[in-house]
Amino acid sequence: MQIHRNGSRPTVNGPSDRFTGHVWQDPIISTPAPGLLKSNLVHFDPGARTAWHTHPMGQTLYVTQGSGLIQRWDGEAHFIVPGDVIWIPPGEKHWHGARSANGMTHVSMQESEPGDEAVVWLEHVTDDQYTKAEALAAKAAQTAG
């Protein structure tokens, strides 16, 4: 058994080659073999977001605070709020982050085989892509509600 005490592992600033804006990551777990799980608590300032990326074994997000956005490469964009659970299938190109006026926090959970990466990082989400995604999500929310 391992116990990681609160505050025993530092918060990490999300690197600029993977994120736009201020993003903070707190490690939850990176399980030793034979476990495959890697998990972080990720805090996004308003407007902050990931770059486009994929996960070879998929990813689950659990939103804990604030209001965010998620979009897959084929154009679907959605608002995400606390309590939402999102499953992203293996290899699906996507991004996620906070809305322009609100911060957002989620737990990210993904698996990878020993020695493999859990994330394949791609190009940044442009400001134009981000703005259009927020507008698409707002339109979808109005239509649904």
Domain limits of the chain? 12-144
Q: What mean pLDDT do residues 68-75 have?
A: 94
State CA 109 to chain mean position distance: 9
pLDDT of res. 116: 86
**Res. 96 pLDDT band, cuts 50 70 90:** very high
Kindly tell me the sign of the dihedral angle through the C-alpha atoms of 117, 111, 58, 22: negative
pLDDT of res. 57: 96
Judged by DSSP in three states, 135 sits in: helix
Instruction: Specify the CATH number of the domain 12-144.
Output: 2.60.120.10
**Mean pLDDT computed over every residue of the chain:** 95
**Res. 75 pLDDT band, cuts 50 70 90:** confident
pLDDT of res. 145: 64
- In angstroms, the Cα distances linking 77 to 41, 111, 134, 140 are 22, 24, 7, 8
pLDDT tens, 16-53?
999 999 999 999 999 988 999 999 999 999 999 999 99
Q: What mean pLDDT do residues 122-138 have?
A: 97
Please say whether the beta carbons of 94 and 120 come within 8 A. no
Q: What mean pLDDT do residues 124-140 have?
A: 96
